[in-house]
Amino acid sequence: MPSALPLADPAPADGRLPESVRAGAEQRDLGIYLHVPFCRVRCGYCDFNTYTASEIRGVKQSDFADQAIAELEFAVRVLDAAGVPPRPASTVFFGGGTPTLLPASDLVRMLRAVERLVGLAPDAEVTTEANPDSIDATGLAQLAEAGFTRVSFGMQSAVPHVLATLERTHAPANVPLRVVEARAAGLDVSLDLIYGTPGESLDDWRASLDTALESEPDHVSAYALIVEQGTKLARQIARGVVPGVDDDLHAAMYEAADARLGDAGYSWYEVSNWARAADRRSRHNRAYWTGQDWWGVGPGAHSHIGGVRFWNVKHPAAYAQRIAAGESPALGRETLDAETRRVERVMLGSRLVEGLPTSVLSPGGRREVAGLIADGLVEPGPALRGAVVLTLHGRLLADAVVRRLLV
């Protein structure tokens, strides 16, 4: 959850939504995202809305579950008042921050509240992110018994000097141990990796990939490091303390990841995500990429209901104050017009393995497809069948492809 919030209209204190959100609701999935904003330390590269103990004086982590449940109760009332038909949650995702800094019992209590207030689809995907040092076999078993189906461990790297630059504090040896424990509990496992850290070599990155694959996770996410303004890492690069980002090395690392993962039986389904099988893909993230509905609970959490996007106040103290007053925690919102929604569909849909229907494109965008094929950025076969699917080279230049498709 990035720390910067967009500029838009103020959100009403009662949270009311326009009647337009009803249209087509029956055809959209509903997901629930719970943002747990607490971390033991702030990593130097992180721009997410997270807080350490020293940054949230007067706010108790032990109060968070009750606050989140109160927001869920508020969400149900708002959706009902807008005339949105009840839909059980198809996915639930606990993100952060480090959700597993909270006791497993608190996470379970929040999941039970989702089940009671919103409902859970029979095949619901329920995921929590976790730091490998922040949970043990007992906690993982407790989550699995309560209905969690998936855990995403923030591995980032297996190389100590890379972790040190990122200021990640977990012990690398705990990653395979946690994977074994999660599997024993019956949970699917995803490992999150970051490549392109200043000072990381291609051999370092290959070592991290090989270490991750030794654990045989169900799913791997590999994200290029983005140096966000205002972070400690950005300041270190500006002062010359650590080297800057090398775009060519980033490209080589992505190609190495795709090759290593492909050889190990993983298939890409979104530019930065690979899975061993189609049923191991992240359904919750797919809801974001395909414009489904989701309600984001917690400080700084974003929601999207029927073309209306809104986001909560960032600081846990401000969030707690609004929840205690029975007010909407939302700070701002925007209603997406048809063109904005089309642009977002092009931006996100073109990143998916099934591709973007060419029918979504403007006449100018459709004319660009032939040139993109000639440049080796788009697969010719799917294009003939009416879908824009990126080649490996196209994935490396996905943003440039999108710019051409949006002419």
pLDDT at 43 over 90: no
> How open is the CA angle 204-209-215, to the nearest 5 degrees?
130
pLDDT tops 80 at residue 394: yes
The fraction of the chain above a pLDDT of 70, given in percent, is 93
Burial class (CB in 10 A: 0-12, 13-18, 19+), 183: middle
Mean pLDDT within 212-219: 98
Rounded CA separation 86/383 (Å): 38
Q: Which residues pair with 194 in a beta bridge?
A: 223
DSSP calls for 11-64: PPTT----GGGGTTGGGS-EEEEEEE-B-SS--TT--BS-B-GGG-TT--GGGH
> Judging by DSSP bridges, how do beta strands 273-275 and 188-195 pair with one another?
unpaired
The pLDDT value given to residue 2: 47
Q: Which two tokens stand for residue 238?
A: 């500006």
d(CA 389, CA 376): 11
3-class DSSP assignment, residue 90? strand
User: In this structure, which amino acid lies at residue 231?
Assistant: T
> Based on C-alpha coordinates, what's the Rg of the chain?
21
Q: Does the structure show a pLDDT above 70 at 50? A: yes
Q: Look at residue 98 and give its three-state secondary structure.
A: coil
Closest of 40, 148, 149 to residue 96, by C-alpha: 40
Task: Please report where in the chains the tokens 């109060």 appear, as a residue.
Answer: 63
Nearest CA to 313 out of 37, 38, 19, 77 is that of: 37
Q: What is the dihedral of CA 208, 183, 284, 289, to 10 degrees?
A: 30
Compute the distance between CA of residue 362 and CA of residue 370 in angstroms, rounded to an integer.
14
Name, in order, each residue with C-beta under 8 angstroms of 201's C-beta and a sequence gap of 6 or more: none
Q: List the single range of 16-30, 45-59, 178-192, 380-394 with lowest mean pLDDT.
A: 45-59
Pull the structure tokens for residue 211: 């270490």
Q: Provide the pLDDT confidence category of residue 315 given band limits of 50, 70 and 90.
A: very high
Q: What's the average model confidence in pLDDT over 211-236?
A: 85
- Please say if the pLDDT value at position 368 is more than 70: yes
Q: What pLDDT, in 10s, does the model give residues 62-74?
A: 999 999 999 999 9
The DSSP output letter for 4 is P
Given this model, what pLDDT does residue 52 score?
74
Which residue in 99, 95, 39 sits closest to 285, CA to CA?
95
Distances in Å between the Cα of 156 and the Cα atoms of 39, 109, 325, 355, 395 are: 16, 29, 39, 28, 21
- Which structural domains are found in the chain, ordered by start? 9-289 (3.20.20.70), 338-407 (no CATH)
